[in-house]
Chain A
């Protein structure tokens, strides 16, 4: 079977090979399809799972990259697919992280697991996003205004959390908000733990266990999002991005679609925030709400390639790796400088993203051309 035949009769060709389920996770909205991509995907996953044992990577460091992957995915579906840029994506990350910590501190001793904390860490930002998003989208605010208002929102949260040092006033049960020092008592912030009674698996965020757990979760979320993006909902998102007026004319309520993807994106960011709080048992305002926290998310997604899930996640992981390497071998000042420079350079040279460019090259190598949906130019406002 050749690549050409695959392209003209995709459904039949998949039905013949034993990987028919791939039909669900591939389509024009996501890059990569057919055996070359999935073979490469399998190899990368295999190598990633073997890495702690055979390649000596340190989970303490690498776990952070995987958490970034979730956050990058959350901005990619929002900005890349639905065309709604948020410069304050870390706000939802932070809300998720704080809520996970607060519930965890209060309930971990009683329940022994973090099911509720994790659920809260995902639900709280979703509800928050539903509230903020409803106002913004139903007022039909322009895209630029939404982008900046989200950043302002994040900075407001930072300013508020910075002045919560008073333990008498800012206390939720056992948890103290703790101002600039972050959520206290830090020693009581749990790691992720699943199970009931005796059979509880607690996963230390600094060890291999968390690495395997988070990596598996990232793969599951990644595949689920690919399914979603290639469903009719994914097509709607792209339709809203490319031409909101025409989508409206077809009878869809653009505002509801925007609100839905905004909430989904906040839920993913909240998941990332919860995992990050569990990973280092710490959350503080500067870490999650500051300008630098917010700009990093935009850098990963813009440099990797915002209009594709895979490239956005790859962007996050590689840039976090690069940032860590620059920080340890040089200094944090130079690392930040390089990140800013990379963003500007990428926007000028590869505006669609570095990995999209590489992906297109690889695609051509295997005789497949990129789908027009992702190639279409920007059509904001």
Chain B
């Protein structure tokens, strides 16, 4: 493996793990940043998104539309949960943690009982297009035919050549698009202005005529919808089970906490850049397990230095220099 292959492989993995963290954490970070509620059922909202995507695609609906429908479905589910249960726990951080944990257990059991322990898996889109890197191939984007030509009769890659699936890059692109969309929504629209006002000072926002309960419900719905879309995207690459979401909740939470609540979007981006880097480097050098442990250790160290997360720290620095 030459240096170019190595660097490309590293960059690819970095983008992959960054996409994974952004998608898993974006919805959670909005809900945490706006309402201060840690939603332990976040992974289950992703799971709902994955199931909706799966059912739509079994019915012949193309993947992009299925994933959008997953977002809509999870958003509605989230708003129902918010109205029925979560709104009673806004001022009680620890109780909201416990009640949403109970919800996550309840929801995944309902899906287990209704649909059984696993669903037929979905085909990964673009799986026949690959990026080949290294050896005499150099750098090439090839379809199924080109891939067959390179692998030849042996069915194996020539030495020094590595292949990378393109769907991972698509996921990263979608993740970036989602971040930009959320940023525009919060910065440039009237809803965004109302939401940020509610976040800064709910009492004052309420006095100015903003219906804060409605803002909370919509924000929770938005966070859930983002979770549903993420679940739909992940559904195309992994097995779909009722416990699908549990794997993401812990990582998403760590990413959100490191990002901090002061600036939802820039905190998240900084946190993903840092944690994704640590995870990629350590996973490459040692093992996936060490990568995960290292990510948690890094999160812990960051929290020791900046107890309010990266965005809170930046805010403090800015305040000092002013």
Identify the A interface with B (CB < 8 A): 79, 83, 85, 87, 135, 139-145, 147-149, 151-152, 155-156, 159-160, 163, 291-292, 295, 298-299, 302, 333-334, 336-337, 339-341, 343-344, 347-348, 351, 378, 380-381
Contact = CB atoms under 8 A, between A and B. Distances in A.
Given A140-B307, A347-B99, A380 B296 contact: no
Interface residues of B, number: 35
A209 to B, nearest CB: 35
Given A295-B105, A298-B101, A337-B113, A155 B250 contact: yes
A337 B112 CA distance: 10
A378 B92 contact: yes
29 contacts: A87-B101, A139-B303, A139-B304, A145-B257, A148-B250, A151-B250, A152-B296, A155-B250, A159-B289, A160-B289, A163-B289, A291-B246, A295-B102, A298-B101, A333-B113, A336-B105, A336-B109, A337-B109, A340-B103, A343-B99, A343-B101, A344-B99, A344-B102, A347-B95, A347-B99, A347-B102, A348-B99, A380-B92, A380-B94
B177 interface: no
A337 B103 CA distance: 10
Nearest to B97: A147
B85 interface: yes
Given A139-B303, A302-B98, A348-B85, A333 B93 contact: no
Contacts of A142: 307
Contact of B102 (A85, A135, A140, A343): A343
B293 interface: yes
Q: Name which of B98, B250, B304 has the most chain A CB atoms within 10 A of its CB.
A: B98
A144 B38 contact: yes
A245 to B, nearest CB: 16
A344 B103 contact: yes
B300 A149 contact: yes
Given A152-B250, A333-B112, A334-B113, A343 B93 contact: no
Across the A-B interface, the 9 shortest Cβ-Cβ residue pairs? A343-B102, A340-B106, A340-B105, A337-B109, A347-B99, A344-B102, A85-B94, A139-B304, A336-B109
B82 to A, nearest CB: 14
A85 B106 contact: no
A380 B101 contact: no
Contacts of B304: 139
A342 to B, nearest CB: 8
A340 B300 contact: no
A351 B95 contact: yes
A302 B107 CA distance: 19
B306 to A, nearest CB: 11
A288 to B, nearest CB: 17
Q: Is the interface of B mostly helix, strand, loop or mixed?
A: helix
Interface in B72-100: 85, 88-89, 92-95, 97-99
Nearest to B246: A291
Contacts of A83: 94
B248 interface: no
Given A87-B101, A334-B113, A337-B113, A147 B94 contact: yes
Interface of B: 38, 85, 88-89, 92-95, 97-99, 101-107, 109-110, 112-113, 246, 250, 253-254, 257, 289, 292-293, 296, 300, 303-304, 307
A131 to B, nearest CB: 13
Nearest to A159: B289
Contacts of A151: 250
B298 to A, nearest CB: 13
A380 B102 contact: no
Given A87-B101, A299-B102, A333 B94 contact: no
Q: Name which of A163, A291, A298 has the most chain B CB atoms within 10 A of its CB.
A: A291
Given A145-B257, A295-B101, A298-B101, 19 more contacts: A87-B101, A139-B303, A139-B304, A141-B303, A147-B94, A148-B38, A151-B250, A155-B250, A292-B105, A295-B102, A334-B113, A336-B109, A340-B103, A340-B105, A340-B106, A344-B103, A347-B89, A348-B99, A380-B92
A48 B197 CA distance: 58
Given A145-B257, A333-B112, A381-B93, A156 B293 contact: yes
Contacts of A135: 300
B40 to A, nearest CB: 8
Contact of A139 (B88, B109, B307): B307
A337 B89 CA distance: 22
B283 to A, nearest CB: 14
A135 B304 CA distance: 9
Nearest to B308: A142
A152 B254 contact: yes
Contact of B85 (A149, A155, A298, A344): A344
Q: Name which of A135, A145, A292 has the most chain B CB atoms within 10 A of its CB.
A: A145
A333 B307 CA distance: 40
Contacts of A163: 289
B109 A340 contact: yes
A333 B101 contact: no
A143 B89 CA distance: 16
A292 B104 CA distance: 11
Given A156-B296, A298-B101, A302-B98, A344 B106 contact: yes
Contacts of B250: 148, 151-152, 155
